[in-house]
Amino acid sequence: MEDNTLNTKAEFEVATFAGGCFWCMVKPFHKYEGVVEVVSGYTGGDIPNPTYEQVCSETTGHYEAVQVTFDSKVISYPEILEIFWQSIDPTDAGGQFGDRGSSYQTAIFYHSETQKEQAEKSREEINKNGPFELPVVTPILPAKPFYRAEEYHQDYYRKNPNHYGRYFVGSGRSGFLERHWSKR
């Protein structure tokens, strides 16, 4: 008897990015098929289970970050990287847009040597072919423990669309992304 059952087990992969305020880093990934989940949280530091207030104090070493779970059979890690790059200013070492400080800096946290190599290749491509005049300063770092942020931060753009919209525009992110990425 032949088994015609389809193998429904998906091969999920995890990508972790810091791109400034995590509120603005969830929505860009949500609209793509193959993205299973996007979680706001903290990573990069050494304090276990930090709170938002602790991370904002700039004393934990943590970045505000998102962890993207995706089906690698539907969307590739290089495609996920492209979404990340088009959501940030990778030339700003001091934070992102209206948010300043180490917890708002950009970073790619790799979970495998393959991710590291693909991230390095994509950063070289952005440096070589723009759209920026300044060099990309986004570091590529080994993944550290990721701590889920408080529930009120999860899917903030859906829970508080008016505030999110004002923040996205008022921080300068919207205009920057439109100027630099709209033609790509």
d(CA 68, CA 39): 7
The pLDDT score that the predictor gives to residue 6 is: 40
The mean per-residue pLDDT over the stretch 155-176 comes to 94
Q: CA geometry: angle at 145 spanning 142 and 151, to 5°?
A: 130
DSSP state, residue 153: G
21, 65, 83, 107: the catalytic one is: 21
The pLDDT of residue 183 is 65
Q: Which of 65, 40, 62, 39 is nearest to 50 (CA)?
A: 62
Average the pLDDT over 146-150 and give the result. Answer: 98
Express each pLDDT in 19-73 by its tens digit.
Answer: 999 999 999 999 999 999 999 999 999 999 999 999 999 999 999 999 999 999 9
| Closest to 62 measured CA to CA, from 143, 120, 119, 168 | 143
The answer to whether residue 7 scores a pLDDT higher than 90 is no
Q: Tens of pLDDT along 100-132?
A: 999 999 999 999 999 999 999 999 999 998 898
pLDDT in the model for residue 145 = 98
- Which domains can be identified in the chain, with CATH numbers? 12-181 (3.30.1060.10)
Cβ(1)–Cβ(117) below 8 Å: no
Extended beta strands in the chain, E state:
12-19, 35-43, 63-71, 95-96, 99-100, 106-110, 140-142, 147-148
Q: Is 56 a catalytic residue?
A: no
Are 67 and 146 within 8 A, CB to CB? yes
